[in-house]
Structure 1
């Protein structure tokens, strides 16, 4: 059940974040997606903080980055945007595990 949740939410995250990075989605929609995802996760009642897979690790890392950085940073910081796109590529099934992505479950 957890892997299905991560698979579904990873696909949605790729959609939302890539559209935001291209300027086709308002920040508030991305922010709402993150909080809706966290609400759904809390209903699963998972208590282990360790991700089960590298995909899950990258997923949680991206959610954290979206909430940690301000909207202007997410839009204009080229280094940050490159890191986010690299992580998105991994979730999409391209490339290797980004070494800078250290995600844990909330």
Structure 2
């Protein structure tokens, strides 16, 4: 019976020792984990900012390109009105033909 009590005491002592070691390791690891968390947070913030900057650059480039296309188109229409009308008519006819073809293919 005393062997059983002795084994129980040893197990209890071992469990307390393991628990103490785990608590000690966790206390030592907390500052490291905290620093790692802050680094990751800072990196994510930097990545987010660079993404916003890249998106802003692309937006400005697209706006500039759209403005250029608009000016070029207006210039072409002003200097070549008859050609512009023919291109518009051809585009409209092609669109109407495509819609007509799609409508017929869906009815079948």
Give me the TM-score of the superposition, normalised by structure 1.
0.23
Q: Which has the higher helix share?
A: 2
Q: Which has the larger radius of gyration?
A: 2
Q: Which has the higher contact order (CA 8 A, sep 6+)?
A: 1
